[in-house]
């Protein structure tokens, strides 16, 4: 006997600190000036390239981002540091990712009118884990007091939708009754804040989604009609940091490739058609027309990217509110972005209406979740 999976609750943890574009650019430019002064001779000799200033106008125009939330702004905005400064925690304390994840998960449980004892599985799906093991998901499971099992998974920006597919398939098959998919993203710790091409892109946040059998839902819910995941290898978004680092020549040096790197133009050009086609094919398989989609909750990387995808999928410019963006406030929060948009802008859908969550990013990877509201 199979069951119908449903999203019955979502939760969002937002850090207290924000960095505006103005603050970010001021710190970056101070860093660039310092760098250029320290390397004046090499720059004059042509062996090192001088660093150009960043600009608020460029950031807003290229991305639509106005600010980002971060766990620690003091280190990021210090031109002699340029990365977050986090307190060392003992092994007996909750890890940072687990703490953020628990906050979002508790909100998702409360939204669904559930407690930890109702949950069988925790998936921590995120683009980086703060340690190799034990799994962050197992720690979140323990902190919440959940029975059953837990595991981590990483599909970069698509982690949440791939996690939802994994959980929904298990609910459908009957191996679990319900699952929390948790997405704590500390993007600030793997962003290269010293690179003006990307220093504005990311922020920190955590989201959580509760997936249950539709028949168990306490109130209104979103039936998971279907999910679809796809991947295609690309080096255009890459981070070479990993456990082999110290075994490689120069591995522990301050190397640029040990943080987030991307060829943004190529990503834009290649991912927009991949995602538009993915969504179009996914809904067509279920006999859902583009005009039947009341809402698209897209990955939040770049405003014009989302405008393109919306226009391609709908065959017209999306109406305000049809495709809500949150990236102006949160920036790109990797796997959490589409879930933030979903959690903030989904309650008003009417009984029977359809919507689609879609995330995409490194891999390349793209995941979509077709939903129908039941009130
Ligand atoms: N200020 C002023 N000028 C700048 C700046 C700046 N900050 N940065 C670049 N410029 C200059 C460039 O040097 C260039 O100058 P020139 O024309 O003289 O060469 C000019 O501005 C234009 O630069 P670009 O061509 O790079 O600008 P774009 O218009 O293409 O915008 C974007 C850049 C915003 C990066 C855009 O290409 C984009 O958004 N692309 C898609 C990116 C995307 O979606 N990536 C997904 C990544 S997320 C993911 O998969 C998860 C990874 C895991 C998380 C990692 C967490 C850290």
Give residue 7's pLDDT.
Answer: 98
Give residue 320's pLDDT.
Answer: 83
What separation in angstroms does the CA of 348 have from each of 68, 326, 343, 355, 375?
26, 17, 11, 11, 10
Q: Is the dihedral angle over the CA atoms 1, 374, 168, 145 positive or is it negative?
A: negative
Share of the chain above pLDDT 90, in %: 99
Instruction: Name the closest-CA residue to atom 12, ligand 1.
Output: 197
Kindly tell me if the per-residue pLDDT of 374 is higher than 90. Answer: yes
Catalytic residue selected from 124, 157, 229, 358:
157
Is any atom of ligand 1 closer than 6 Å to the C-beta of 300?
no
- Model confidence at 162, pLDDT cuts 50, 70, 90, reads very high
Instruction: Name the closest-CA residue to atom 10, ligand 1.
Output: 197
On the 0-12 / 13-18 / 19+ scale of CB atoms within 10 A, 257 is exposed
Over residues 180-195, the pLDDT tens digits come to 999 999 999 999 999 9
Q: Whose CA is closest to 95, among 127, 155, 154, 141?
A: 141
What separation in angstroms does the CA of 100 have from each of 4, 13, 26, 237, 323?
29, 6, 29, 25, 27
Distance (angstroms) between ligand 1 centre and the Cα of 268 equals 9
Over residues 305-335, the pLDDT tens digits come to 999 999 999 999 999 899 999 999 999 999 9
At residue 8, φ and ψ (nearest 5 deg) are -110, -10
pTM of the model: 0.96
Over residues 275-285, the pLDDT tens digits come to 999 999 999 99
Kindly tell me if the per-residue pLDDT of 160 is higher than 90. Answer: yes
Kindly tell me if the per-residue pLDDT of 102 is higher than 90. Answer: yes
- The b/e string for 275-311 (b: 16+ C-beta within 10 A; e otherwise) is bbebbeebbeeeebebeebbbbbbbbbbbebbbbbbe
Mean pLDDT of 117-134: 97
Cβ-contact 51, 32 below 8 angstroms: yes
Is any atom of ligand 1 closer than 6 Å to the C-beta of 128?
no
Is any atom of ligand 1 closer than 6 Å to the C-beta of 196?
yes
Mean pLDDT of 202-231: 97
Q: Provide the 3-class DSSP secondary structure of residue 269.
A: helix
What is the secondary structure of 94-150 as a DSSP string?
PPHHHHHHHHHHHHHHHHHT--GGG--EEEEE-S--SSSSS-HHHHHHHHHT--SEE
CA distance 221 to 372: 8
Mean pLDDT (the chain, rounded): 97
Kindly tell me if the per-residue pLDDT of 236 is higher than 90. Answer: yes
Mean pLDDT of 125-142: 97
- Model confidence at 29, pLDDT cuts 50, 70, 90, reads very high
Is any atom of ligand 1 closer than 6 Å to the C-beta of 364?
no
Over residues 333-343, the pLDDT tens digits come to 999 999 999 99
Prior bond of 364 cis (ω within 30°) = yes
Over residues 106-124, the pLDDT tens digits come to 999 999 999 999 999 999 9
What is the secondary structure of 313-364 as a DSSP string?
HHSSPPPTTTS---HHHH-B-GGGHHHHHHHHS-TTPPTT-EEEEEEEETTT
CA distance 310 to 76: 34
- Model confidence at 256, pLDDT cuts 50, 70, 90, reads very high
Cβ-contact 156, 363 below 8 angstroms: yes
Kindly tell me if the per-residue pLDDT of 1 is higher than 90. Answer: no
């Amino acid at each position: 006997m199979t069951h119908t999976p449903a999203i019955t609750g979502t939760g969002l943890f937002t850090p207290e600190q924000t960095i505006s574009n103005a603050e970010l650019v001021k710190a970056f430019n101070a860093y660039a000036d310092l760098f250029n002064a320290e390397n004046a001779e090499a720059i004059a000799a042509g062996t090192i390239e001088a660093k150009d200033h960043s600009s608020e106008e460029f950031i807003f125009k290229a991305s639509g981002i106005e600010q980002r939330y971060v766990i620690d702004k003091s280190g990021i905005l210090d031109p002699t540091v340029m990365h977050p400064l986090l307190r060392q925690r003992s092994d007996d304390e909750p890890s940072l990712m687990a703490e953020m994840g628990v906050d979002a998960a508790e909100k998702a449980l409360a939204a669904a009118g559930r407690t930890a004892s109702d949950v069988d599985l925790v998936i921590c799906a995120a683009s980086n884990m703060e340690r190799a093991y034990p799994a962050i998901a197992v720690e979140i499971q323990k902190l919440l007091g959940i029975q059953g099992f837990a595991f981590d998974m990483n599909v970069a920006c698509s982690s949440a939708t791939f996690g939802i597919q994994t959980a929904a398939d298990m609910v459908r098959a009957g191996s679990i009754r319900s699952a929390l998919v948790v997405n704590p993203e500390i993007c600030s710790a793997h962003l290269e804040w010293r690179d003006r091409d990307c220093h504005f892109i990311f922020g920190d946040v955590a989201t959580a989604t509760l997936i249950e059998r539709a028949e168990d839902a306490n109130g209104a819910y979103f039936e998971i009609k279907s999910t679809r995941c796809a991947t295609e290898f690309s080096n255009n978004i890459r981070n070479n940091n990993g456990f082999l680092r110290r075994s490689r020549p120069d591995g522990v040096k301050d190397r640029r490739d040990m943080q987030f790197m991307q060829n943004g133009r190529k990503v834009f050009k290649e991912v927009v058609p991949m995602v538009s086609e993915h969504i179009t094919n996914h809904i067509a398989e279920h006999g859902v027309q583009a005009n039947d989609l009341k809402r698209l909750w897209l990955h939040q990387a770049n405003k014009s990217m989302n405008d393109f995808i919306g226009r391609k999928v709908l065959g017209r410019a999306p109406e305000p509110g049809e495709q809500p963006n949150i990236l102006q406030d949160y920036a790109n929060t990797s796997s959490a972005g589409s879930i933030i948009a979903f959690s903030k802008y989904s309650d008003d859908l009417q009984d029977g209406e359809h919507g689609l969550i879609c995330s995409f990013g490194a891999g390349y990877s793209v995941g979509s979740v077709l939903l129908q509201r039941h009130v």
